[in-house]
Amino acid sequence: MTMIFDDLNFMDDLPLEKYPAHFGMTKKVSPSTKYYRSNMMLNPLNLKHLNRMDESRADMITLNLEDAIAPSRKKEALYNIALFLSHMEHSRSFIIVRTNPLNEGGTEEIAFLNDFGFDAIRVAKVKNQTEIAQALTLLSSDKELHISLETKEAFENLSSLRIDERLTTANLGILDLLTSLGLPQSIVTLKNPAIDYLLSKFLVNAKTAGIHPISFMFQDYNDTDTFRAWCEHEKMMGFESKACMGPKQVEIANEVFSINEYELTRARHIKEVFEANAAKGINGFMDEKYGFIDEPIYRDSLLILNNI
């Protein structure tokens, strides 16, 4: 088991003005994989959790500066993120910092964090292309831009928001979105037609724009059975990623959204036999194992193989 700091005692009663003297120079290498099943939210006021970022099994970690942090402690949370990132030598997780809305401190947070070692900024409550352009202008060119989709305006405009390839990912904030739409949060139940419509529209519009969609966070952390049911339902719909509250949810999301051995074996076989037949000028044929195979079936197998 590794940790960023062997001992956190030096942070006891450390005043904020002394934090910068402890900032390091380390910048972790970005993970090579783009296969993201779980996106775990971490509160940067919890030092023990921050200290274990380098051993997390989450494919993504989002360090949350927004609504979980009281205004009086946002600077403390920001400095905690900077301190731990600047000493983290490695992490298998893709690290994201979720800032406040640009006009509520997000602009200053991005400017402060730009030179630290993380992979993406996630901007809260965006509504339009203008805010996307503003965030991209602020953000270092080596980092991705992610958005929290929490407003009816962004939900309606999602397919047109990708004005730059650095905008790669959208996270569905279902509770804030429902409030924006004037709908009660009580409708967030499995197989509710309205929720399935919102999920489907979010998924298709994101994919149309070339944006990776991450489904919403399930709030009841101890109800793992319902969380698993949501993951299975969303995988059936076509989702590949789920927001997570902690390690228990990460474990389930990683399991459910993983590509199983049958899917891998089938995809590898289809790729092999299609390419062998295509070399002979045959792009549609009957296969002993999996029936009729043509180019669309082949492209689907490549989609699976490219995600491992």
Distances (CA, A) of 52 to 14, 99, 127: 20, 21, 34
Position 20 pLDDT exceeds 60:
yes
pLDDT of residue 12: 87
Position 85 pLDDT exceeds 90:
yes
Distances (CA, A) of 201 to 68, 171, 290: 27, 13, 31
How do residues 256-294 score in pLDDT, each as one tens digit? 998 777 788 888 898 888 889 989 899 888 988 888 988
Higher-confidence residue of 272 and 81: namely 81
Q: Which of 219-223, 229-233, 287-291 has the lowest mean pLDDT?
A: 287-291
Q: Count of alpha carbons within 13 Å of 108, Cβ hemisphere only?
A: 8
Position 147 pLDDT exceeds 80:
yes
At 30, is the pLDDT very low, low, confident or very high (cuts 50, 70, 90)? Answer: confident
Q: What is the mean pLDDT of residues 126-130?
A: 91
247's tokens: 């390690």
pLDDT of residue 101: 92
Q: Which of 6-10, 249-253, 258-262 has the lowest mean pLDDT?
A: 258-262
User: Would you kindly state where each structural domain of the chain is located, as residue ranges?
Assistant: 9-259, 262-305
CB 209 within 8 A of CB 162: yes
Q: Which of 76-90, 188-202, 294-308 has the lowest mean pLDDT?
A: 294-308
CATH number of 9-259: 3.20.20.60
- Mean pLDDT across the chain, nearest whole number? 92
pLDDT of residue 139: 95
